[in-house]
Structures are given as structure tokens and as C-alpha cells.
Structure 1
Amino acid sequence: MLFWKKKEQKNAEGLAWFSYAVMLPNKHEEEKEITIIGNFIIKNTSGIVLNNPIICIRTTPSQNVRLGGKIGSVSHAALMIDGTNTEAWHYLSDNWKERILETGEHVLKPNNCKYIETDGNLIFSNEIRISTTSEHSFALIEGFFYCDEIKNGFPALNNITINF
């Protein structure tokens, strides 16, 4: 007798979170910027591969929060030769500067990573600078993850909130 086992349906799922350190400006420095250095980490917790990963880092307010990291164009070779073992990224749209000013959304795709294996991680190493000289006395940084299997995405487990 043969028993047919129905194939188990596996759901695409994952976790995303910020790991970071905040550096306050020196009281004696002229430049008054708060610097946040850290990582936005995505972990594939599902039993399937997650294809075409995309992240969105949303900064509020959009004007006085600058996002830095290993961001360039897909073909920018100098980014690949810096000696660190971190993924290089590029903006998804050509009008990314306008989008950042309008919505504060930095939509990024890794240059080399096309998928995240089961139990695998993808890391966006970044540096965020917040000007303390604007009329706003706060900053909110939110993270979101998207892929082919999770079209609607999911938010990070934590946000970065700075009040000054």
C-alpha cells in the first residue's frame, strides 16, 4: 500500500532589525551632528529561499537626516575593493534623490546578493547623520524588507528614535 504524503506548504518569512550605536556630538565641536553607526540585518527564518531582496530605510524628517553606507551604482568597482566583507548596495530608482526629499525613503537593492538562503542573513552596514541645528528636535529611522516571496514586505522589529 502506498501512502501519499501531501507536500508541506512552506511560508516565506523573515526578521529584520537594526543593531546600532549612537555617537553624540562633542560639546566643543562646531559641527553639531548625531552619528548612528550600525547594521540593518535581515534573517530568512523560512524554509524557502527569499529572492531579489530589497530594503527601504525611511527617515523622518527627510531633510536633516543623511544615510550613508556602501551605496553606489551596480557597476561601481571601487566599492567592491574596500577590503570589508559587507555587501555593496544601489538605489532602485533613478530619481532616488527626489524620492528621499519627498518621502524620506531610501529604497536599496544589494549589488551581488540575489537571494537569502534559509537561515541566511543579509546585512546593510550604514552610517546615519542627524543635524541638530534644524528646527526638528527628533529623528525616526524605520526599516522594511521586501522580496519576490513577500511582496508586501514587513517592518523591522525595532526603529531608531532620537530626541535631542
Structure 2
Amino acid sequence: MDVQIYWNEEKKGVIPYPSLPALRLLCEQHGIRTRWNAEEKKMELWEANLTEKKIYLEPGSSRAPRSSDSAQYETEILTQVQHFLAAMGAEVLLQQSPSAPQDHADVYIQCMVSRIKSINNPQSTLVLHSNHQNKRLLHSIQKELIRMGFNNKVKKRIDKRDSNRFINIHIHLPEAQKELLRQEYQEPIAIGLASGILRYFHEKYPLAILSSLPPDIHEIFMTTRPNIHPKPATQEAGLGPSPVSAEKYLIESKELKAEVFFDYTLLLPGTDDNRCLIWGNLYIKNTGTENLVNPLVCLRSTPADTIQLRGQILPPNMTETLSVQDFEGAKGWRYLEEDWFKKAQERGEFWICPIQSIQIPPGEMEVHAFQISVLKPQSEGTVTIEGIVSFQEQGLQFPANNRISLSF
């Protein structure tokens, strides 16, 4: 029996019924939500964003007497934060008057803005109540406010009220040039707060960040090179120089061996669509007796300009801000070179590497999940996708045991 696959309520293809559990796990890896319709025997897929998250925002003026000017400014900032997060699918409640906060919200934020004569640069103070356990949210907001130019400090307040779930954010602005500063600082404050909340959700419940953006933005990452001019990137430890040509395979050592192979699912296009989608994994199994260190993965297509690589792979200059962070640092995969898109178009090769250092012990396996969009050739023909894994520190390179071949 075959199962129908629907993407955003549009039928995209079918898969064998026994593949359902594997498809659900694959979707989870890529930040894609699933719903099984038992009555119609179909699997419904849609992109994950913040649709299930509730956020409660409150201006400081709602609980303490404030000047009308300050109260309006706080409301304008939080209205902009509400706009940012609602666009990502979150349910955001902006409370204008004193009341009990909404139950069962994921985040509670209170923002207060004041002007101080004795300072020349904007500052912020973040207050964590003694009964509040959500330090990760506070640190996420703190990091984003620093990036937006606000020096800040954290205070811990002893609060006997068990019901206090707020993180209080107090923004201090210079007193001079009120109206000019209102315009200059309002947007950075709102962006910093919204980015901090998004970072918190991304780190606690990993999301596919691109799925939080409108579909048109995806094309920037898939079809054009981002218009960003970063500082020269420091090369990751152990990666060495640019990868050697994919055609030149090095001789395997008796002690250093690996098996590389694809496992994938093909979603066929609709009648009006000229692309098909491949969801899969590239498995790298260490079959030798020594650790394999820092794999470089090459996905090569023939013809060269027929595929686009999707999934959670970041440009080199965006790993610090968009990668998944934990106590060990950044994790995930990135493109190896700054001009990755240009070289992919010219050679048909996508070279990617781990953001963090990776070791694959003997008998263990590293799995790289990917999405590939395949464009139908203008004339009938075959599109072939090959995989090559290189360990440059150890002078090794292994082609995948199988390849993906589509005939049109």
C-alpha cells in the first residue's frame, strides 16, 4: 500500500507504507512537522515555526506610574516586538493595563524604558527573580542586546511572590536629544528583544531557522549568494586547505577505512511543478581501527546546475549567529567556502563541513541529513548525484557506495 504525501495541503507524491516511521524521523531532523491522517491514509507535512509558542509582553508602565512619554515609548517597542514574533507564527499578547498574566505562556517579558542624565551610551539591566528558573532565556536576550550595542548587566532579585514569572528588562537611555534618541534606539531594542526570544526557542527546541521566514526569503539562500561581506573567516581546525578535486581518490589505509552510502526518499513533483524533492541521509561509517577526524562532504551533480542543496546548512559567515548552541559551543554544518554558491553553479559540487570538530570512533557512524531540490532538465535526460567524503588531516577520501540517479 502506498501513502499520499501532502506538503502545505498540496499533494506532492507517494511513499510505501512501511516507510512512514522513517519519514517522520527524517522530518523531525529538518524542522518539519507531520500529521498522520489515518482515515485518508495520507501524511501531511508543513514547516515548523513558532506556531505553538505563547509569549506575554508587558510594558513597565502597566504596573508602575510612568510619564505618558515613557509609557508610549515602551508600548511602541513592544508592539514592534509583537509584530516580529507574530510574523514567525507565535501567539503574542501585549498587555496594556495591569492584570494577572496569561497562564501557560512560554515566555513572560516586562520592558521598562527610562532616561538618565548621567550616561552617554544606552545601557540595559536584566532582572531574574529568585524563583525564576529560566536563565537560558535571560542569557539569550542579554546576548542579543549586546550585539545591538546595549551594554548590560544582570541582577537577581529575591521575590517572595511565587507567581512572578517575568524577566524584567530595564533599558536606560541618555537624557539628551529625546526625540532623536527615540528614533535611533527604538528599532535596535525591538530587534534585540525579538532576536533573543527567537534564540531561546531555537536553542531549547531546535528549529529550522529558515522555516521561520517567509518562503520568498528561502530563495535568497537557495538561488543566490547572500549579499554579505564578512571579515576573512578563520579556517576550522583540522580542515586544511581547499578540498582536492572530487575525481582524485586517495588510497585507503589498512587502518583507516570508511563506508559511505545514501539513504533517501524521493517526492515527485505535481503536474505544474518542474522540481522534485529528495530527503535523505548520507551515512559515514568508520570500518577501520582508528578515529576518523573532521569529515568534508561533497555532493556532486551531473549536469552541474540541476540541484539546490537545502536543509540546516549555513554560510560560513553566519555560523555564530544562526547555529545551534549548547554548552560545548556551536553545532551543525556549514558550507566550506565563502563563494560556495558560485562554485556549486560552475562545478556542480557542494562542499560542506561540520561547524564543530567531529571524531568518528571505530565502528561508529556519522549521519548528515540533507534536502535536495532537483530541477528537471530542459530536455529529457538523467540527473546524477554522487557523494564523496574526505578526511584531509588523514589523507583519505571515500566515494559513496551508491548514487542517486533520476531519469526525466
- TM, length-normalised to structure 1: 0.81
Match of 1:104 in 2: 348
Match of 1:67 in 2: 309
What count of residue pairs does the alignment treat as equivalent? 149
Q: Which has the larger helix fraction?
A: 2
Match of 2:379 in 1: 135
Contact 1:56-1:105 at 8 Å conserved across structures? yes
1:34 aligns with 2:297: no
Deviation for aligned residue 1:131: 1.5
SS in 2 for 1:119: coil
Q: Please, which of 273, 277, 295 is the counterpart of residue 53 of structure 1?
A: 295
SS in 1 for 2:256: coil
Q: Residues 102, 133 of structure 1: CA spacing in aligned structure 2 closer, same or farther, 3 A cutoff?
A: closer
Q: Which amino acid aligns with 1:104?
A: G
Q: How far apart are the structure 2 equivalents of 1:147 and 1:133?
A: 33
Q: Which runs of 4+ in 1 moved over 6 A?
A: none
Q: Deviations over 1:88-125 (max 9, x none)?
A: 21111122122111111111101124221111211111
Q: Please, which of 238, 245, 258 is the counterpart of residue 14 of structure 1?
A: 258
Q: How far apart are the structure 2 equivalents of 1:55 and 1:70?
A: 14
Match of 2:404 in 1: 160
Of stretches 146-155 and 44-53 in structure 1, the one that deviates more from structure 2 is: 146-155
Deviation for aligned residue 1:133: 5.6
Q: How far apart are the structure 1 equivalents of 2:321 and 2:381?
A: 38
5+ long unaligned stretches in structure 2: 1-252, 326-330
Match of 1:3 in 2: none
Match of 2:358 in 1: 114
Contact 1:145-1:155 at 8 Å conserved across structures? yes
- TM, length-normalised to structure 2: 0.34
Contact 1:40-1:124 at 8 Å conserved across structures? yes
Match of 1:147 in 2: 391
Contact 1:59-1:142 at 8 Å conserved across structures? yes
SS in 2 for 1:142: strand
Deviation for aligned residue 1:10: 5.8
Match of 2:267 in 1: 23
Q: Residues 112, 119 of structure 1: CA spacing in aligned structure 2 closer, same or farther, 3 A cutoff?
A: same
Contact 2:315-2:338 at 8 Å conserved across structures? no
Match of 2:121 in 1: none
Deviation for aligned residue 1:134: 2.8
Deviation for aligned residue 1:80: 1.5
Q: Which structure exhibits the higher relative contact order, with contacts defined as CA atoms closer than 8 Å and separated by 6 or more residues?
A: 1
Match of 1:4 in 2: none
Q: How far apart are the structure 1 equivalents of 2:280 and 2:307?
A: 15
Q: How far apart are the structure 2 equivalents of 1:62 and 1:133?
A: 11
Contact 1:13-1:150 at 8 Å conserved across structures? no
Deviation for aligned residue 1:33: 1.1
Deviation for aligned residue 1:31: 2.2
Q: How far apart are the structure 1 equivalents of 2:282 and 2:341?
A: 21
Contact 1:12-1:149 at 8 Å conserved across structures? no
1:44 aligns with 2:286: yes
Contact 1:41-1:124 at 8 Å conserved across structures? yes
Q: How far apart are the structure 1 equivalents of 2:254 and 2:385?
A: 31
Contact 1:58-1:105 at 8 Å conserved across structures? yes
